[in-house]
Structure 1
């Protein structure tokens, strides 16, 4: 009975070891170059800064041999040297995040424009403000919600990295005869062994793995904050586009009203014979073109609201009823000096913070690679050895054994992985320096854009528009009085329309420059 149990244990152990070795041989050794598949373990936040130095290494006890057999056995079961990729081989190189340029905006309108009387309307009191839109997006945006799960996954990586190695159970039978032992065919006693091997982490690889995983989580948290920054920027730009489309609708409708009055007056003059039919047709063309432009502006407004609703993860049917509240021509105090903004950006911008944390993670990878120089030492405890002396008519004996297997780091001391991890630290430092320069450039460009558009809006609003409007109104007065033809008025209207469009485009650009400065600094500077 005992022999059958030992034989079964030996067979199970050998089958398990063979399966484990086959599974280890199937691990990937190179990047396939294919994009990550949905549901894969690849981070949706992008490559983590400093991750090129190495992975978390093997799981506790994986890739290590185990000690078995009794001391003095003819075939010692010694841990084999590692043959898989080093701790840095499966890591992708770091890549600096690419800054997206400010999207240009131009009023998609054909037709005339006019400036409504009175101050700009901010919208209904219960309308959606920019702050409310940002809050909704941070709560409901599906892209952000998906990326957030990178953080608890990183916490799970910390748990996995901190796990201790499992002991290894081993059982065998030695000196099994092909035929029964006799005096004519003498041999040693048949022997049955049961032992337990436990790996001892003498180089503290577990602690190094846990440190790498902890710092990798901090990098992911900073990357998530950068994703929030980019989402806020997208929400702000889309919100301003919606305000711009609404303002264009107001300008276009005002123009239609004015041209409708002009068309009525021209018909009266034509009935009296004061203007020709061709002049009447020219006014009709202007009126219909303005009406078509107003319809186009309304369609653009609805499209802008749908884009805003999509970012807010609102139902499509609610896009029609969204009403925004805000102003394009926002009067604010100037921002702090560019030197102060640059200093602030270097301190708080999440993508730069992620690189600083990534540098610490890369340094931890060096420590992990150095810890992997030494494989685990295996302590063997063999509590039971049974020697079958029954073929010789003697009493069978039992015994126990204690031993240790120590891999000798003669050839493989993980030199390549250590060197790669050290080079990755230098690489991360260079990438961080490059990102710092780009951050400073982003701030300087955003400040210059803000200052120029601020001056341009003020000049257009206070100087150019009044002159263009005065010229247009004077041409209208002369035309309705019959002193000039309709061509002179139409030319004045076209000049005024160009000035209004330039003012509206510049005002939108000015409002967007405020948001761009917020994004460049990584902190709210303008409302």
Structure 2
């Protein structure tokens, strides 16, 4: 009998050893498969799959083509004509004419095209900043939505504990059934909030998938929504405002319109056309050379309408540049104020509010179970904790939104934060 028990024990040990060995072997693979999508990887995928960046890259090629075309000179023109179609007395002429641009038209076209090239390059940078901000926003929205689900699940367990305690006290005849009704109402409210949080999480993940260009692909995220970058110094932001892609595009828009105005002014000067050729007279059996010069007379059309429109467009671009700077300063200032306030709130929640609210719930629940507190005290403590958790997530969302706005304007702010 003891031998049989020993044999069974040995087989059990061998089976346990094999199971542990299998788990040890499979642990790295399981860990790798469980590894989620990080923010850096999300940014890389979004940049690789973004049609917006692809379109911005193509705009650079479009601008290159415009620059190439702007530098070309007009083609010569070959003409043939016949006077007197009778075979014995006809006169035929062959000429080649070359338009010569005067007034610096070609140089003005090249300058305008080069301004367009510069704008296309900066627009690509702005598109990258925009995409980066969108990915960060969608990524952290998903993390915060998951965090809200987890906190709501904890609140649900808390509400269930309170309801169970109230039910036990009611069944023991120590409290009124009204207390149980209140507990069940709160439990239902938290359950509704959990369903809403789960729906918001699914929507946030769907938005992130669309931002990454991978719709339908299941996502498992790796990140901590409470880990936010340090806010950069406001003075550092102001000193770098002119270097942002948004401001450079606004200035380049002014440069483009001024170059367009200069090009329109060159159109006031007519072009000269030089022609050379040969004429043969069958009747006289004689060939003569032809040389000609032609130029339009700018009597009525001196391009004055286009010059006026270009002048107003240049003034408009300057106004828009000034408006862009004012709006950027206002938006950045508001974002930084909101960011700093949110970071202070987060610190207060972590250090004081959440621990105190959790301690109050535990104390009130234990006191109620011991008959020292009324159930209203438990409900108030639970509501306080649930509200504090919700406000904590809201503070994280507010700080994230401010961070994203600054990223949208300045791009990666790591260097800016380091300079604070």
Q: TM-score range by the shorter chain?
A: 0.7 to 0.9
Structure 1 residue 352 displacement after superposition: 0.7
Q: Out of 269, 273, 281, which is 1:374 matched to?
A: 269
CA–CA separation in structure 2 for the residues paired with 1:312 and 1:445 = 29
Where does residue 25 of structure 2 map in the other structure? Answer: none
Q: Report the counterpart of residue 282 of structure 2 in structure 1.
A: 388
Partner of 1:518: 407
Cα distance in structure 2, aligned partners of 1:334 and 1:204: 51
Given the two structures, how large is their TM-score scaled by the length of structure 2? Answer: 0.82
Residue 158 (structure 1) aligned to one of 67, 86, 91: 67
The CA distance in 2 between the partners of 1:467 and 1:160, in whole Å, is: 71
Q: CA–CA distance in 2 between the matches of 1:503 and 1:436? A: 33
Give the superposition deviation at 1:229.
1.8
Structure 2 vs 1, CA of residues 425 and 288 (structure 1 numbering), >3 Å: closer, same or farther?
closer
1:145 aligns with 2:145: no
Contact 1:244 1:508 in 2 (8 A): yes
Structure 1 residue 139 displacement after superposition = 1.6
Pair 1:340 & 2:248 matched: no
- For the Cα contact (< 8 Å) 1:442–1:520, is it kept in 2? no
Secondary structure class of the residue paired with 1:172: strand
Which of 205, 226, 230 does residue 329 from structure 1 map onto? Answer: 226
Tell me which residue corresponds to 1:407.
296
Per the alignment, residue 301 of structure 1 pairs with 201
Matches within 5 A, 1:195-210: 195-210=95-110
Shift of 1:498: 1.7
> 1:471 Cα deviation (Å)?
2.8
Q: How many residues align?
A: 384
Match of 1:194 in 2: 94
1:267 CA drift (Å): 4.0
- Report the Cα offset of residue 305 of structure 1: 0.6
Structure 2 CA distance, aligned partners of 1:322 and 1:129? 10
Q: Is the 8 A contact 1:162 1:206 kept in 2?
A: yes
Deviation of 1:269 (Å): 3.7
Q: Deviations over 1:304-349 (max 9, x none)?
A: 1111000100031x1xx3122222222654522x2221111222x1
Task: Name whichever of 352-361 and 512-521 sits farther off.
Answer: 512-521
Q: Which of 68, 81, 105 is 1:172 aligned to?
A: 81
Matched, 1:357 2:252: yes
> SS at the partner of 1:147?
helix
Give unmatched runs, 5+ long, in structure 2. 1-32
Deviations, residues 254-281 of structure 1 (Å, cap 9, x unaligned): 1223333444444444443334444334
Question: Pairwise mapping of residues 115-264 of structure 1 onto structure 2 (< 5 A)?
Answer: 126-176=35-85, 189-264=89-164
SS of corresponding position for 1:296: helix
What is the CA distance between 1:167 and its match in structure 2?
A: 1.6
Contact 2:39 2:136 in 1 (8 A): yes
Q: What's the TM-score, normalizing by structure 1?
A: 0.67
Q: How far, CA to CA, are the matches of 1:225 and 1:367 in structure 2? A: 28
Q: 1:315 to 1:514 in 2, by over 3 A?
A: closer
Match of 1:37 in 2: none
C-alpha distance in 1 between matches for 2:183 and 2:318? 67
Task: Tell me, yes or no, if the aligned pair for 1:342 and 1:521 is still in contact at 8 Å.
Answer: no
Q: Distance in 2 between matches of 1:288 and 1:355?
A: 54
State whether residues 195 and 382 of structure 1, in contact with CA within 8 Å, keep that contact through their aligned partners in structure 2.
Answer: yes
Contact residue 119 and residue 252 of structure 2 kept, 8 A:
yes
SS in 2 for 1:399: strand
Distance between the aligned counterparts of 1:429 and 1:280, measured in 2?
A: 68
Give the distance between the partners of 1:291 and 1:422, measured in 2 at CA: 64
1:504 is the counterpart of 2:413:
no
Partner of 1:64: none
1:311 aligns with 2:211: yes
Cα pair 1:330 1:511 within 8 Å, conserved:
no
Provide, for residues 45-71 of structure 1, a one-character-per-residue CA deviation record: whole Å limited to 9, x for no partner. Answer: xxxxxxxxxxxxxxxxxxxxxxxxxxx
Check the 8 A contact 1:446/1:520 in 2, yes or no.
no
Q: CA deviation at 1:215?
A: 1.0
Looking at structure 1, the residues matched to 316 and 186 of structure 2 have their Cα atoms a distance apart, in angstroms, of 63
> Do structure 1's residue 442 and structure 2's residue 331 form an aligned pair?
yes
1:442-494 residue CA offsets vs partner (Å, 9 max, x unmatched): 22212211121122222233233333333322221221112334333223222
CA shift, 1:506, in A, is 1.3
SS of the equivalent of 1:244 reads helix
